């Protein structure tokens, strides 16, 4: 669990935990992105696109990466990461420490400029990969692979919710820092 760096930001985080618990945790039988089964699903899109939560998500995720030197762009695999990256851009401008955002497509675009990474140019830049909920880590690692091929220096993966099912170990095995704003203890859920 990552306690925020100031009482105000920790209040933001606690309010986000309340909103996730009330509005984004769904119980039932779910198939996850990895094909695994689970009895709950955390639908963070409900909150990354919600006016009550999006500004705080930007501040919380900016705070989460505060100790990493030289980060100039953030983003991740579309679409979970996209509204988070945009929120971080706004929070970073408000904080006087601007960063840019990028979107990593699942496949390169088949028309126009044919790009797989949209937005900020990442070559030679230190970047952080974002995600909304991480289970196996496959999605952020796909973004890492695409970003590295494009010449980015990926330094960390930062998620809002960590489902605590092995992603941290996979990410750290890639030499990347692992950061999570909210974990299962915060939400009163068991790992699965």
Ligand X SMILES: O=P(O)(O)OC[C@H]1O[C@H](OP(=O)(O)OP(=O)(O)O)[C@H](O)[C@@H]1O
Ligand Y SMILES: O=C(O)c1cc(=O)[nH]c(=O)[nH]1
* Residues engaged in binding ligand Y (CB under 6 A): 32-34, 41-44, 133, 135, 163
* Residue 97 marked ligand-binding: no
Q: Which is nearer to ligand X, 10 or 105 (CB)?
A: 105
Centroid of chain to Cα 118? 17
Our finding on whether 131 is near ligand X (CB under 6 A) is yes
Choose among ligand Y, ligand X, none what residue 79 binds, the Cβ cut-off being 5 to 8 Å by kind. ligand X
* Residue 149 marked ligand-binding: no
Our finding on whether 34 is near ligand X (CB under 6 A) is yes
Q: Is the peptide bond before 79 cis (omega within 30 degrees of 0)?
A: yes
Our finding on whether 183 is near ligand X (CB under 6 A) is no
**Spatial CA neighbour of 138 closest among 76, 58, 49, 71:** 76
CB contact at 8 A, 190 and 42: no
CB contact at 8 A, 146 and 116: yes
CB of 22 to ligand Y, least distance (A): 16
Residue 48's contacts (CB-CB under 8 Å, 6 or more residues apart) are: 54, 57, 80, 83, 84, 87, 132, 160
**C-alpha distances out from residue 49 to 95, 155, 169, Å:** 21, 26, 29
Our finding on whether 49 is near ligand X (CB under 6 A) is no
Question: From the list 58, 75, 80, 83, which residue makes contact with ligand X (rule: CB under 6 A)?
Answer: 80
Question: From the list 5, 14, 31, 33, which residue makes contact with ligand X (rule: CB under 6 A)?
Answer: 33
Question: From the list 24, 64, 137, 146, which residue makes contact with ligand X (rule: CB under 6 A)?
Answer: 137
Whole-angstrom Cα distance, residue 108 to residue 123?
17
Query: Phi then psi for 191, rounded to 5 degrees?
Result: -65, 135
Annotated binding site for orotate: 135, 163
Binding-site residue positions: 105-106, 109, 111, 131-139, 163
Chain positions contacting ligand X, by CB under 6 A? 33-34, 77, 79-80, 131-139, 167
Q: Which residues are annotated as a binding site for 5-phospho-alpha-D-ribose 1-diphosphate?
A: 105-106, 109, 111, 131-139
């Amino acid at each position: 669990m990552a306690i925020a760096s100031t009482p105000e930001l920790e209040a933001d985080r606690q309010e986000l935990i309340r909103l996730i618990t009330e509005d984004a945790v769904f119980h039932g039988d779910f198939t996850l992105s990895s094909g695994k089964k689970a009895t709950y699903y955390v639908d963070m899109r409900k909150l990354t696109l919600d006016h009550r939560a999006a500004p705080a998500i930007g501040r919380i995720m900016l705070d989460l990466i505060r100790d990493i030197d030289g980060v100039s762009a953030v983003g991740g695999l579309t679409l979970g990461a996209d509204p988070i990256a945009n929120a971080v851009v706004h929070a970073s401008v408000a904080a006087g420490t601007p960063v840019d955002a990028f979107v990593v497509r699942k496949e390169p675009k088949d028309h126009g400029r044919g790009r797989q990474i949209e937005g900020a140019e990442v070559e030679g830049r230190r970047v952080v990969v974002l995600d909304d909920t991480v289970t196996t880590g496959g999605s952020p690692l796909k973004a890492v692979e695409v970003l590295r091929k494009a010449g980015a220096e990926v330094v960390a993966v930062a998620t809002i919710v960590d489902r605590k099912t092995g992603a941290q170990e996979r990410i750290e095995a890639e030499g990347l820092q692992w950061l999570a704003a909210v974990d299962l203890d915060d939400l009163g859920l068991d790992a699965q």
